Structure 1
Amino acid sequence: MTFEEFVEARLQALLRYAVMLAGDPHTAQDLVQETMIRAQLKWRQIAAADMPERYVKRMLTNVYFDLHRGSWLRRVVLRGVDLEATMEPRAVGDHADGLAERDQVWVWLGRLPRQQRAALVLRYYEGLTDGEIAEVLGRPVGTVRSWISRALATLRAQVGPALTKGAAP
């Protein structure tokens, strides 16, 4: 498979994965672009790997992890996030309630450490097993399970008080 064939076949899936990691489609596009530049430079090595997509997905995850380690100049956010273009709409009684709920979920996910968020996205969005997640993140399976467990515990702790607040008259 050539690099061009790989990009044509997998670019949209990589972009969706990046949106779930970054929470922002513009940042996701930057992550994918940076990853594709790196992948093109190493394409012979990647093409020789057993699973090129997983190799590139690991590269993308590492670029995401490195995003916050760089200069503060690269992290300026100019406006809010509109993920409607990448997320499927669902039926809700009031459109504003649905937007508020979605925004709150993004806030909760944004508070998670990068590794925990990546593990959750790989598990629940990409549908990977613990072993596959460990391979993508380059960590032992036990570490992946720990990150997922901690992330879910953190989300439960955040969601509980929010639900209690919403139920009070």
Structure 2
Amino acid sequence: MDDSAEAGFRDFATTSAAGLRRFAYLLCGDWHLAEDLTQTTLLKIYRSWRKLRHDEAIAHYVRRTLLRTWLDEKRKPWRRRESGHDVVPEVADGTLDPAARAERLWARTVVQRGLLEVPPKQRAVLVLRYFDELSVAETAAVLGCSEGNVKSQTARGLAALARIVDRLEPGKGLKIA
């Protein structure tokens, strides 16, 4: 790879690594695995960097690569025996009101725990739509499916997440919409 392509990839990796890691965490629920998935995805992108079109479609390609890397990781037989149910430490945010922070922290924890129980395809759609704030069309492009499929998976995923959250924290009344 020539120096300009190398510099272009370095800039791309620097600007997108944090977002990719967050996306990976929302899929898998484990910061260490999210870091591994991000690194593996960036390695795959690096290998094909010269062949890629460098336009707005590259973001969809990178997300799709990360999603497939995660799905491949889930399919590994040794992975099925492990479960990551450790509590992720939260970083304190002094700018929030303590009462509001406690409620927000509760909602965040419950939703993250609930996301881990939603089926993988529905989880991917929910993360892309509501955490990465992609449109239905953009989500369909990333997943390589129809917009109708994205809409149905979103509805099913939200319904499943609502049932799971209600089971995890009955009577709290968390609204998911």
User: Normalised by the size of structure 1, how large is the TM-score?
Assistant: 0.81
Unmatched segments (≥5 aa) in structure 2: none
Q: 1:88 to 1:54 in 2, by over 3 A?
A: farther
Q: Does 1:109 align with 2:115?
A: yes
In structure 2, do the counterparts of structure 1 residues 162 and 113 end up closer, same or farther at CA, with 3 Å as the change threshold? Answer: closer
User: What amino acid does structure 1 have at the position aligned with 2:135?
Assistant: T
Equivalent position of 1:60 in the other structure: 66
SS at match of 1:93: helix
Bigger mean CA deviation after superposition, 15-24 or 139-148 = 15-24
State which of 38, 43, 65 in structure 2 corresponds to 1:37. Answer: 43
Alignment of 1:70 with 2:42, yes or no, is no
Deviates more, 1:44-53 or 1:123-132: 44-53
* Structure-2-length-normalised TM-score: 0.77
RMSD: 3.0
Give, as a single letter, the amino acid of the residue that structure 1 aligns with 2:20.
L
Q: Share of identical aligned residues, percent?
A: 33
**C-alpha spacing 1:157/1:36, structure 2 compared with 1 (3 Å):** same
The total of aligned residue pairs comes to 166
- Distance in structure 2 (CA, Å) of the matches to 1:105 and 1:81: 13
Structure 1 CA distance for aligned equivalents of residues 66 and 24 of structure 2:
7
1:23 aligns with 2:29: yes
Aligned ranges for residues 11-160 of structure 1 at < 5 Å? 11-48=17-54, 51-73=57-79, 76-77=82-83, 80-82=86-88, 84-85=90-91, 91-93=97-99, 101-160=107-166
